[in-house]
Amino acid sequence: MFKYKKLFNETSFRYIVKSQEKMLITELQNLNKELNADILFLGVRDGSKASTIIALNEQDIIDNFTYNLSGSPCEKVLNEGVCCFPEGTAKLFPNDKALLDLKVEGYIGSSIKNENDESIGILVALYFESDTFLAKKINLFETFSKFLCSHIQKCHLEYQTNSHLSLFNEVEVISKTGAWEYHIETMSYFFSSQIYEIYGIQVNSELSVKSAISYFAEHEHSKIEQIFKNVLNYGTSFEEVFEFVDSKSVKKWVKITGKPSVNNNGQIDSIYGAFEDITTEKEMLIKESERSERLENILNNINEAVITICSKGVIKHVNKSVLSMFKYSANELLGQNIAMLMPEPHASNHQHYLESYQTTGVAKIINIGRQLSAKRKDGDIFQMELAITQTTSLGEVQYIGVIRDISERIKSQDTIYNIAFTDNLTQLKNNKWFEKECKDLLNQASIEKKHIHVIMLNIDKMSQLNLQFGFEFGDLVLKEVAANLKLAIGNDCSIYRYNGAAFLILLKKSFIKNESTKMRINLLHTTLLDPKHYKLKVNGKSVVVSASLGAANINVTNQSYEAIIQILEHTVSKAKKLAPMGLCHILEDDIEEFDRFVQLHKILKNITESDELSLVFQPQFTNKGELNSFEALIRWQSEIYGQVSPAEFIPLAEETDAIIKIGDWVLLNVCKAIQELLHLGLRKSISVNISAKQIVEYNFSEKLIDLITLMKIPAEMLVLELTETALIVDISLVKQAMDVLSKHGFRFSIDDFGTGYSSLAYLKELPISELKIDKYFIDDIDSDDTDKQYVIVDAIIYMANALGVRSIAEGVETQKQLKYLERKNCNIYQGYYFSKPLNMSSWREMIRVESKR
């Protein structure tokens, strides 16, 4: 702390004497008028020497000189204060060469002391003649030197106050800091001008300690007294802030410091200190704290968590939301690294990230809002939206993160998702969700070069169940089955409602094919087809249903999602053929076959525009061995697949509208063939296979009639072969078309008779002219035994007779078969025994020969 008052030393003594030189010379000259000394001088101690500052010879000023103190009377004076040697001084001090040179006889000297009684300078009178009365002059000499001391002290003080202090005052004013000093012994005190300023009173006006204290708030008085007592008694320094009202009633804050000053004896003789007006700072501080309080309030009242960290990642500030969001207390967070709020691997990477940001300036997240995961105290990981801004505080870089907990939002988004992706009836996820998850899995599996396993499960005969018990009941059945299956499959797979009565099951993880996955998959299939899931109680009624399961292992590198659905539909339809509880598991090799299936499908759509289709004609004979008619059979010579059997591609074509185009093409070409027959004068009919889709087509009969009209061929020459299964697709529609066409003279043959749901009742209603015994039954005939009976063959022939229609045997390959059929009076025969189907040129050859007969 600044000590206000300083004693004068040699330098300041010399300085003061010099600055008072004129006056002092006069004073010394006056003094010498009394003393009549030959030489009178005022000197200053200068280490081991002394130098004169003013020197007189009688009344004249002489040049200053320097002399050694050692062994001189001046040395004695400086130690003892005053000395007087009336005569023989030079002899008394033989070491003092100057005295000797001047032949000094009489000597009076007195030291000039500062307040601390330290000898700084010296006043000396020298006499060349010895003077026995010299001792009488000592009093005068001493009085003068004392005057000189006090004068110099006063000058010093003035000098301090006026000169050095003016600088100090500047500082005081700028810093609004005053200085004070209190001398215990004299009970005197000093206040610098700034203190008066702070009090708002005229400088140096009356300000007692008591009145000085009265400016402070009443309740502070005892405290002020106490701290002063503590300095006085125990030397305890203080630094206190007080509220204070100045003389103009302006409220101020002052900071007062106090320190003891200890004298040479180790006693506290004074205390001193500063008196500082800190109103501005205090107000700023208050404003600042109000501002930050306001800020804090705002921060604490927003839902977002706000965290400030320093450049090292240490948490510097958190608002209340941080505490509730992360479940930590403020103490647990402040001073800790921010990584504690992050789950792995973010936590481990964060420091590195922060450092790299600071060196490279490349930010992944600063100034960019991001969705990230965060970790609560209890380890719970949640989704947050984080926005970070960079700022500086007291020159240090800080990052402020604003965090929003979006777990709720995600949950509600999930609900919206749920509605869109959940099947209402079964509460299972729907096919859209399956598509998403399946595609995700496909992506992942294709990266890892793994397989996925998908299943389509279809409840058998759902449409019949719906017809029988109503859709509501049917829905409940599906719901029950869904619940049972979901429970049964466990956590390894997910089940989805695909459509109608179909479900999809997806193994959640892709896999590498091995024995154990094979076992697991087999087990899953068995579980899914376990009859217990299908024994239900619905509305109090016991129902038993069954399912068909199509499954496929997909090597994802070459399958798209769309292809997978096709595969599944294909396999499940295959499984249906094995109902109830049919299972068809397409293995990877089978998928190649399936690819062919998909490919064929594609080609068939426009097959009639190619020239790959042709017709062959298989002759049919009477029991007398005469050519009766032909059956037209289609052939496909594919550029890619070679010869494709109609048994393979016709069912495929029937799955789409391709069969209509193909059917039209066949009919047109059969008509052309009939034209050729007519041209040769042969009225042999040609049978054409008509598929179910064709016959129920709304304009089938119209088209057909138009065609034969255009081609100018009689309807009787066309026999339309319909299978039993085609008949029952929509019996009333089929009957309608058959009626129209039969009225026009077309004839109908029932193909594959006996393999379907033959019912005499409906057969009787339809305009049929022929029943065709399928090759399947003819194959059975393998005996020469004339007594042996083939019940079905017999029954069909019997039925044909009963209906009054012809019977025709297909696939006759052996004489045995022919013999038996002949015996049973079958009317017409077709088969390899007679002829294979003939290609166009062979057929033309045949009809040419026939026409000539």
Interface residues with Ca ion (CB under 5 A) are: 689, 721, 751-752, 774, 810
CB of 484 to ligand C2E, least distance (A): 40
Binding partner of residue 105 among ligand C2E, Ca ion, none, CB cut-off 5 to 8 Å per kind: none
Of 384 and 719, which CB lies nearer to ligand C2E in the complex structure? 719
Of 55 and 763, which CB lies nearer to Ca ion in the complex structure? 763
CB of 452 to ligand C2E, least distance (A): 36
Helix (H, G, I), strand (E, B) or coil at 644: strand
CB of 719 to ligand C2E, least distance (A): 12
Spell out the residues 6+ positions from residue 621 whose beta carbon is closer than 8 angstroms to its own.
Answer: 627, 628, 828, 829, 830, 834
Binding partner of residue 837 among Ca ion, ligand C2E, none, CB cut-off 5 to 8 Å per kind: ligand C2E
Binding partner of residue 811 among Ca ion, ligand C2E, none, CB cut-off 5 to 8 Å per kind: ligand C2E
CB of 717 to ligand C2E, least distance (A): 16
Of 17 and 800, which CB lies nearer to Ca ion in the complex structure? 800
Q: 40 with 75: CB under 8 angstroms?
A: no
Of 554 and 670, which CB lies nearer to ligand C2E in the complex structure? 670
CB of 826 to ligand C2E, least distance (A): 14
CB of 756 to ligand C2E, least distance (A): 13
Binding partner of residue 633 among ligand C2E, Ca ion, none, CB cut-off 5 to 8 Å per kind: ligand C2E
Compute the distance between CA of residue 607 and CA of residue 661 in angstroms, rounded to an integer: 8
Binding partner of residue 38 among Ca ion, ligand C2E, none, CB cut-off 5 to 8 Å per kind: none
The 8-class DSSP code of residue 557 comes to G
Of 44 and 812, which CB lies nearer to ligand C2E in the complex structure? 812
Compute the distance between CA of residue 478 and CA of residue 459 in angstroms, rounded to an integer: 8
Binding partner of residue 313 among ligand C2E, Ca ion, none, CB cut-off 5 to 8 Å per kind: none
Of 754 and 831, which CB lies nearer to ligand C2E in the complex structure? 831
Strand 381-393 to 370-375 pairing? antiparallel
Of 564 and 741, which CB lies nearer to ligand C2E in the complex structure? 741
Spell out the residues 6+ positions from residue 656 whose beta carbon is closer than 8 angstroms to its own.
Answer: 601, 604, 605
Residues in the chain: 853
| DSSP element (H, E) containing 42 | strand 39-46
Residue tagged 């205390």 (tokens): 271
CB of 634 to ligand C2E, least distance (A): 4
Binding partner of residue 84 among Ca ion, ligand C2E, none, CB cut-off 5 to 8 Å per kind: none
Burial (CB count <10 Å: 0-12, 13-18, 19+), residue 211: exposed
840: phi then psi, degrees, rounded to nearest 5: -50, -50
Helix (H, G, I), strand (E, B) or coil at 10: helix
Question: What residues make contact with ligand C2E under the rule CB under 6 A?
Answer: 618, 632-634, 645-647, 650, 666, 689, 691, 751-752, 775, 810-813, 830-832, 837
Of 692 and 763, which CB lies nearer to ligand C2E in the complex structure? 692
Q: 632 with 619: CB under 8 angstroms?
A: no
Of 125 and 634, which CB lies nearer to ligand C2E in the complex structure? 634
Q: 723 with 692: CB under 8 angstroms?
A: yes
Of 433 and 621, which CB lies nearer to ligand C2E in the complex structure? 621
CB of 806 to ligand C2E, least distance (A): 16
What are 811-814's contacts with CB under 8 Å, separation 24+? Answer: 811/774, 811/775, 811/776, 811/778, 811/779, 812/778, 813/778, 814/781, 814/782
Compute the distance between CA of residue 664 and CA of residue 484 in angstroms, rounded to an integer: 48
| DSSP element (H, E) containing 375 | strand 370-375
CB of 601 to Ca ion, least distance (A): 23
Compute the distance between CA of residue 315 and CA of residue 759 in angstroms, rounded to an integer: 87
577: phi then psi, degrees, rounded to nearest 5: -65, -20
CB of 631 to Ca ion, least distance (A): 6
Strands (DSSP E) contained in 713-803 are: 718-723, 747-753, 770-773
